[in-house]
């Protein structure tokens, strides 16, 4: 059987700017930013005291799985928008997610139960630990539990996969879903990503890596950028082999590995170039340095607001698109929503969908003084309206994993 085409039939999201994707789009188009002081826990003394959490879901508010609290409404929104009926065995679910976590208070309690010292007190833990078991349910900690819960909610009995690839997880899950639909492993797939990382442990960890903004500003490609700001949320799409009332078509996907450094990108952007090139070639659109057809009119960049990553991505985009880049527009949603880690690539994918379907090109919030080393056709202030025939989505992760997705109008 020859490969089938893959169409996007529905989309949904839960973000720090909206309970639905249309709510979020309206705020993003106006140039709004959800980044603000952390209120869910005392962030004084942390390397960065701001974030973009989903309202009403702060650390300590619940011991439940916050990932599912974001992913389930996003999935239901996407599924309702798609309006499809499919046999359970032909419906797949693919989600980008990382491990869930207990609250900081639970970790402190576990440490005390184990004796609170430098060594593990087994006898003390046997006495005190069982009382904490309810806070350590595997369903709240496993990366796969979100995918399983979404599959159960939709009654899916087809292929199911969880992708845990750091910041590229959501985009990689969409790419895997597109592959499954294209090869006939399923007819319809729910795919996306979720991040719920605005907590004390992740704030401390990314701070130790030197990845967070000391200024507390998310401003991708800006001359003043000094790191990213943590965000969270979920974005889901429904993919189908049937065109129907399609939003767009996934024309190609590409992936690569830098094999260079755990946290730093390859300085020449070799992995990023390979991923973008593969996505465009898979869509039958590209030779390196030539003109894609359909052209790439919009790029939803990875754009983290870190010094090295933004500069490397900008240079890689110039290598891949050449002079055609000048006729496109480039932006990053992380200026408004922060970095949602496992959910970031899926949120970027929805921004590209908006551009292809409605011609709405969202701005990069926080970008005021474009860095001369990141000379790109940026979108500043508020959204632009233009014809977008093709759009490229980038998601680059710690560990050097790179994922690119190429969208075009559903013809």
> What is the predicted pLDDT for the residue at 330?
98
Q: Please tell me the distance from the alpha carbon of residue 33 to that of residue 14, in angstroms, as a whole number.
A: 15
Asked if 265 and 134 sit in the same domain, the reply is: no
Number of domains into which the chain is organized: 2
Indicate the average pLDDT of the chain. 91
CATH code, 75: 3.40.47.10
> What is the predicted pLDDT for the residue at 62?
39
Asked if 225 and 318 sit in the same domain, the reply is: yes
**Is residue 193 pLDDT above 60, yes or no?**
yes
Q: Which of 48, 167, 219, 374 is catalytic?
A: 167
Q: State pLDDT tens for residues 141-185.
A: 788 999 999 999 999 999 999 999 999 999 999 999 999 999 999
Count of other CB atoms within 10 angstroms of residue 111: 12
Asked if 187 and 295 sit in the same domain, the reply is: yes
Q: Is residue 295 part of a domain?
A: yes
Confidence of residue 108 (pLDDT cuts 50, 70, 90): confident
- Whether residue 337 contacts residue 347, with contact meaning beta carbons closer than 8 Å, is answered with yes
| Residue 122 falls in the annotated catalytic set | no
Crossing angle of the two packed helices 270-282 and 307-321, in degrees rounded to 10? 40
Asked if 218 and 339 sit in the same domain, the reply is: yes
Mean pLDDT within 256-274: 90
Asked if 159 and 307 sit in the same domain, the reply is: yes
Residue scoring higher pLDDT (137 or 115): 115
Q: State pLDDT tens for residues 207-226.
A: 988 999 999 999 999 999 99
Largest Cα–Cα separation, the chain: 68
> What is the predicted pLDDT for the residue at 138?
65
**Is residue 238 pLDDT above 70, yes or no?**
yes
Q: Is residue 1 part of a domain?
A: no
Asked if 196 and 234 sit in the same domain, the reply is: yes
Asked if 126 and 155 sit in the same domain, the reply is: no
Mean pLDDT within 325-342: 97
Count of other CB atoms within 10 angstroms of residue 37: 9
Confidence of residue 60 (pLDDT cuts 50, 70, 90): very low
Asked if 108 and 35 sit in the same domain, the reply is: no
Torsion angle of C-alpha atoms 229, 357, 25, 197, degrees rounded to 10: -30
Q: What residues form DSSP beta bridges with 160?
A: 93
Q: Which of 186, 266, 302, 378 is catalytic?
A: 302
Asked if 366 and 297 sit in the same domain, the reply is: yes
> What is the predicted pLDDT for the residue at 291?
57
Percent of the chain surpassing pLDDT 70: 93
Asked if 71 and 183 sit in the same domain, the reply is: yes
Asked if 277 and 371 sit in the same domain, the reply is: yes
Q: State pLDDT tens for residues 352-393.
A: 999 999 999 999 999 999 999 999 999 999 999 999 999 999
> What is the predicted pLDDT for the residue at 287?
46
Contacts of residue 123, defined as CB under 8 A and 6 or more positions apart, other chains included, come to none
Domain of 62 in residue numbering reads as 7-100+142-408
- Least Cα distance to 367 among 296, 317, 297, 314 occurs for 314
Q: Is residue 2 part of a domain?
A: no
Q: Please tell me the distance from the alpha carbon of residue 108 to that of residue 208, in angstroms, as a whole number.
A: 20
Confidence of residue 336 (pLDDT cuts 50, 70, 90): very high
Q: Please tell me the distance from the alpha carbon of residue 179 to that of residue 385, in angstroms, as a whole number.
A: 31
Contacts of residue 269, defined as CB under 8 A and 6 or more positions apart, other chains included, come to 312, 313, 315, 316, 319
Confidence of residue 285 (pLDDT cuts 50, 70, 90): low
Query: 147: left (phi > 0), else alpha (psi -120 to 50), else beta?
Result: alpha
Residue in this structure with the two tokens 């496109």, named with its chain if needed? 328
Contacts of residue 125, defined as CB under 8 A and 6 or more positions apart, other chains included, come to 113, 114, 115
Q: Is residue 206 part of a domain?
A: yes
Note the helical H segments in 59-143. 66-82, 104-113, 122-128, 138-141
| Residue 302 falls in the annotated catalytic set | yes
Give this prediction's pTM: 0.93
Q: Is residue 347 part of a domain?
A: yes
Asked if 89 and 113 sit in the same domain, the reply is: no
């Amino acid at each position: 059987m020859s490969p089938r085409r893959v169409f996007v039939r529905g989309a949904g999201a839960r973000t720090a700017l909206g309970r639905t994707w249309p709510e979020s789009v309206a705020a993003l188009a106006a140039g709004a930013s959800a980044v603000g002081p952390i209120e869910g826990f005392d962030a004084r003394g942390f390397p960065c005291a701001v974030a973009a959490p989903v309202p009403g879901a702060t650390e300590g508010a619940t011991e439940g799985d916050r990932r599912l609290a974001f992913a389930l409404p996003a999935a239901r929104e996407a599924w309702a928008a798609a309006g499809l009926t499919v046999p359970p065995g032909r419906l797949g679910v693919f989600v980008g997610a990382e491990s869930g976590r207990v609250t900081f208070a639970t970790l402190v309690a576990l440490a005390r139960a184990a004796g609170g010292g430098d060594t593990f007190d087994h006898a003390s833990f046997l006495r005190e630990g069982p009382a904490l078991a309810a806070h350590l349910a595997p369903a709240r900690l496993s990366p796969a539990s979100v995918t399983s819960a979404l599959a159960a909610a939709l009654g899916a009995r087809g292929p199911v996969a969880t992708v845990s690839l750091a910041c590229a997880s959501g985009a990689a899950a969409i790419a895997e879903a597109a592959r499954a639909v294209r090869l006939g492993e399923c007819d319809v797939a729910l795919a996306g990503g979720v991040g719920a990382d605005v907590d004390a442990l992740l704030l401390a960890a990314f701070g130790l890596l030197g990845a967070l903004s000391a200024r507390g500003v998310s401003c991708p490609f800006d001359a003043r950028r000094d790191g990213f700001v943590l965000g969270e949320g979920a974005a889901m799409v429904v993919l189908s082999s049937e065109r129907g009332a399609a939003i767009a078509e996934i024309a190609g996907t590409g992936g690569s590995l830098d094999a260079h450094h755990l946290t730093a990108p390859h300085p020449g952007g070799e992995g990023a170039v390979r991923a973008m090139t593969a996505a465009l070639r898979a869509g039958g659109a590209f030779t390196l340095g030539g003109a894609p057809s359909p052209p790439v009119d919009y790029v939803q960049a990875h754009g983290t607001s870190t010094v090295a990553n933004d500069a490397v991505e900008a240079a890689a985009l110039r290598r891949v698109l050449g002079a055609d880049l000048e006729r496109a527009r480039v932006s990053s949603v992380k200026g408004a929503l922060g970095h949602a880690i496992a959910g970031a690539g899926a949120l970027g994918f929805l921004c590209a969908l908006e551009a292809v379907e409605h011609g709405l090109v969202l701005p990069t919030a926080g970008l005021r003084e474009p860095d001369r080393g990141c000379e790109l056709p940026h979108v500043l202030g508020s959204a632009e309206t233009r014809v977008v025939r093709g759009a490229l989505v980038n998601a680059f992760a710690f560990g050097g994993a790179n994922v690119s997705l190429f969208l075009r109008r559903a013809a």
